[in-house]
Amino acid sequence: MAFLDKLKAGLLKTKNALFGGIHTMLKSFTRVDEDLLDELEELLICADVGVGATEDILDELRERIKDGRLKEKEQVVDALQEILADMIGGGEPLRLDTTPSVVLVIGVNGAGKTTSIGKIANSLKRKGKKVVVAAADTFRAAAIDQLQVWCDRAGVDMVKQSEGSDPAAVVYDAINYAKSKKADVLLVDTAGRLHNKVNLMNELAKINRVIDRELPGACRENFLVLDATTGQNAVLQAKEFRNAANLTGLILTKLDGTAKGGMIISIRRELNIPVKFIGVGEKIDDMEPFDAEEFVTALFEN
């Protein structure tokens, strides 16, 4: 199954909750007016588009009504599609131009961090990249073993030490291994302890010093993994992590298990951090780089 088809299936709950509701709502109106916009506001908020983003959407619709671009209720869905596509913006490719490039992955337990790393490793390998994974989440019990399972599935090498080891030491070993193997990408798992931001910041700072020293000038990405089923709580979580780490992108997991896929719009508006990967299933090939055009298409097309 092509990923666009998986994406359509994965976003079905969001699509039914939001756009199924819009089509039903439109049957109750004869024209585009404030009553219609009030009903639309409720639907957008229920899909976790967020209050601020919803207000922006409604303001744009009012502007189109005012200047005559939006006259008939049948035009509402097309107008929404255009507005959402513009709000999400174009796709932003991964910065993986150096050999190796480094991708740090952080996130709280349960967000899907370990599985995401395995899936991203698989996605990159299928695109011809040679990938090494550093098991630098040495804090959580069984994290290393779980990551090893996913690396085995993806067919990529993993560098590890024992539980409780210094994460920066693991990254040091992984960098040397990646250099020796002429790897294209080094994926680094890290412990995301949001409840103790001081430890998180200190740990990330130490890892960053090792990377800067051993791989000066390397392309870098810092990804935060978010569970899409938590909706607006994921937006709040991203704000907290942004204060502790220099985030360059987000990974959204479990989009297939929620009707709150609209949170992508809210995240982009409030944080201006691009979504780089999305997950729409449990299989190893159920995660791909985020494509805004594909996302909007999956929400609107039958």
Give the separation between CA 42 and CA 82, rounded to whole angstroms: 20
Which residues fall within 8 angstroms of residue 42, CB to CB, at 6 or more apart?
none
Residue 91 has pLDDT above 80, yes or no: no
pTM for the structure as a whole:
0.87
Residue 1 has pLDDT above 60, yes or no: no
Average pLDDT over residues 277-288: 86
CB 268 within 8 A of CB 87: yes
Residue type, 43: L
More confident residue, 295 or 126: 126
Residue pLDDT, tens place only, 180-213: 999 999 999 998 765 556 777 788 889 999 999 9
Residue 222 has pLDDT above 70, yes or no: yes
Hey, what are 48's tokens? 């976790």
pLDDT score at 173: 98
End-to-end CA distance of the chain: 16
Average pLDDT over residues 223-245: 84
Residue 17 has pLDDT above 80, yes or no: no
pLDDT category at 108 given cuts 50, 70, 90 is confident
Percent of the chain whose predicted confidence (pLDDT) is above 70: 97
pLDDT score at 62: 95
Residue pLDDT, tens place only, 42-82: 988 887 888 999 999 999 999 999 999 998 888 988 899 89
Residue pLDDT, tens place only, 115-150: 999 999 999 999 999 999 999 999 877 889 999 999
DSSP 82-104: HHHHHHH-S-------SSSEEEE
